[in-house]
Amino acid sequence: MLSDGYYSAAYPLHEGHWKAGSAENPRKVLFDHWANWKNSLKFQPVDYVRLYFGEKIALYFAWLGFYTTMLVPATVVGLAVFIYGLAIMTTNIASKELCDDHNNFTMCPLCDARCPYWKLSDACSHAKASRIFDNGATVFFAIFMSLWGTLFLEFWKRKEATIQYKWDMTTFVQEEEPPRPEYLSKLENWQTMKVDPVTGIKEPHLPFWRRRFPIFLTSYSIMLFLAAVAVTAVIGVIAYRVSMLAALQLLPKQVTSNSSVVTTTAGLIYENASLVTTVTAALINLAIIIVLNLVYGYLAFWLTDWECLRTQSEYDSSITIKLFALQFVNYFCSIFYIAFFKGQFVGRPGKYRTIFGGRQEECEAGGCLIELCIQLAIIMVGKQLIQNNFIEIVVPKLLNLIKRKLSKETREQKLAKTPWEKDYLLAPAESMSLFYEYLEMALQFGFLTIFCAAFPLAPLFALINNIVEIRVDASKFTTHLRRPLAEKTANIGIWYSVLYGISRIAIISNAFIIALTSEFIPRLVYTARYSEDGTLKGYVNFTMASFNTSDFAEIDKPKDTHLGVVEVCRYKDFRDSYSPDPDLAYRRSIIFWHILAARLAFVVVFENVVVVLTSLMSWLIPDVPTVLKEQIHREAYITNEIVLKTELKRAHGEEISSVDLSSHGGDDDDNRYSPHHSDDVAIIQRHTKRKNPEPRTYV
């Protein structure tokens, strides 16, 4: 009837006002002790949230609070890794060699013809910044976060079991779902009917092969097209980076004024061309992501409605798969490109590989890890600031302010409104509101775990965001939304499987980031095999190949020759030097194959070690705490004793009284329950409460 427009809204009323002066009501109590910002660093009263909003909403806040608490140790370790990186940033031997102006490392141009030769020492600041995140502690942090993800999921299962027992949801079974009203409304004139095997009621039936399969095929084909749109957007950002970097390289580095050399603003941009390009490209990518998310959200719901799914759980699962898959591709596509593809297939001077007529992107002198870190930080933090905080905090306040300004009602008129009229002015509590909250946290979990090797500060930003997020959501449910209809649920549903899948992807991702994107393996191979004294002395020269500039094609030779005549330029690769034989010139050197073998060996070892450790931890940590398991068994035992004694008395024709129930079976002089007498009474009360539950009322 809501769908057909007979009613405009249907909702349970809030119990009083959240600013009701000295009057105490459940809504005001929740606001004062939960949603108020002064409670930001306090634990949540989830039991009271459950009494007011129901188990489904309370379980979300219990999960979010537990997740936020688990972020504390990850934040501490991440900060320690970051501080360690700061400490070695200037003392690293490789960084000192790269920043030394006396080392005559003249680098090959970054683009054909227009870009000049340049000095490796110009990338000093970038190389130092890269060492903050690209060091030995990165491997430790990647292993730690993989174990942390497993511990988080395992401990949540234990916490969830405790909550289920406490809220009497241990034996909760979802009843057979009725068809969605939208489903029946859409098929009210459908001719094909079928008897439901569970309910025995005739319902409209859609044949799978003739009706459902073509729609599903078309729906998921459109999803693949939408994912391709996100990939195309990333290619567009790549084209922007290539062209912008080439354009910035043409800026004058210095100008001469009164016989002195002055560095201009353009010169500063020239010196930091790579950083400027990376930051602006990441901001553009963030803007594209936000726009695409709006489009994806609309199309995902449209496609799911088109599929005409029978039950609400089927509808929720379908929309979850669509939105999570599309947003995952949208957010992580550009990050995956930088992490695993950028700079891997660029070729060499004189024979660069091209796409659409342009050279592929190269990693800067400090490596691609610093760019991955910048991209990850901007997208993650920008998403939290714009989408989570601005949209959820600022926009509702602005809308309420506009409503108050436009309203011409007097104070007496406002006070004269009935409670249901006041609640009607609030925003409706959509059935998918919790879905978006879970989706937001699942994506954040992906940022934390999949790319933790590149950004150890991610847990800190996630912790700050979640502390704010809990109060924002609590305030939203308490003050800005109509009271949602209470629903029962025993777990967080499909989201546990989503988080588990992300934690498995993270193991593979971090292994390849350390092996391919960072310079951990090349440094390790150099110190173990090629270094004369076991240090990184000479490492920079070790990683540079030489190119004879006479081998440049005439059209590709740099037009800018401010460094004078350059006979040999260097580029970052492991190749043999110039040879008169074209078949032998610039081939991959034996060092390249040594390092490649070490990279692959590291991936295999890392993945197997972490998988074994996480699997062992999952096996050792029981899903249900031992104390709780014993309590459940004891409750079952005492309940059985009560039933047996009651049936025995009934068989003898005796009357059953509350005193008989409290004796819980056995003789009065039997002391086997005496150590747990108070626990047994509580169990009996739980048992009788189950048989005679108090009805929940909504005023």
Q: For strand 254-257 and strand 347-348, is the pairing parallel, antiparallel, or unpaired?
A: unpaired
- The 3-state DSSP composition of the chain as helix, strand, coil percent (nearest 5) reads 65, 5, 30
| CA dist., res. 588 & res. 392, Å (int) | 54
Chain mean position to CA 412: 48
The contacts of residue 111 (CB under 8 Å, 6+ apart) are 242, 245, 246, 249, 359
Torsions phi, psi of 199, nearest 5? Answer: -85, -20
> Which pLDDT score, from 0 to 100, does residue 255 have?
47
The contacts of residue 261 (CB under 8 Å, 6+ apart) are 254, 255
| Residue-wise pLDDT tens digits, 393-438 | 677 677 767 766 665 555 555 665 788 888 888 888 877 778 888 9
CB atoms within 10 A of CB 225: 10
Nearest to 362 by CA among 353, 128, 691, 296: 353
- For helices 312-340 and 433-450, the axis angle rounded to 10 degrees is 30
Give Dmax (Cα) for the chain. 118
| Residue-wise pLDDT tens digits, 152-189 | 999 999 999 999 999 988 877 766 677 777 777 777 77
| CA dist., res. 348 & res. 350, Å (int) | 6
Gyration radius of the chain's alpha carbons:
32
Q: Which residue has the tokens 């009065």?
A: 668
Q: What is the dihedral of CA 533, 534, 539, 541, to 10 degrees?
A: 30
| Structure letter (DSSP) for residue 463 | H
| CA dist., res. 26 & res. 69, Å (int) | 26
In the chain, which residues have pLDDT < 50?
255-262, 664-699
State both tokens at 581: 């034989």
CB 388 within 8 A of CB 470: no
| CA dist., res. 332 & res. 285, Å (int) | 11
> Which pLDDT score, from 0 to 100, does residue 61 have?
94
State both tokens at 79: 């900060």
Q: Which residue has the tokens 């173990």?
A: 528
> Which pLDDT score, from 0 to 100, does residue 109 have?
85
pTM: 0.83
Chain mean position to CA 535: 38
| CA dist., res. 44 & res. 59, Å (int) | 11
Q: What is the DSSP string of 391-418?
A: IIIIHHHHHHHHHHHH----HHHHHTS-
CB 464 within 8 A of CB 153: no
Chain mean position to CA 494: 15
| CA dist., res. 290 & res. 330, Å (int) | 9
| Residue-wise pLDDT tens digits, 484-539 | 988 888 888 888 999 999 999 999 998 998 888 888 899 899 998 888 888 888 88
Sign of the dihedral defined by the CA atoms of residues 489, 447, 337, 146, in that order: negative
| DSSP reduced 3-state for 16 | coil
| CA dist., res. 454 & res. 514, Å (int) | 9
State both tokens at 341: 């593809």
Q: Report the residue count for the chain.
A: 699
Sign of the dihedral defined by the CA atoms of residues 87, 91, 96, 99, in that order: positive
| CA dist., res. 54 & res. 27, Å (int) | 14
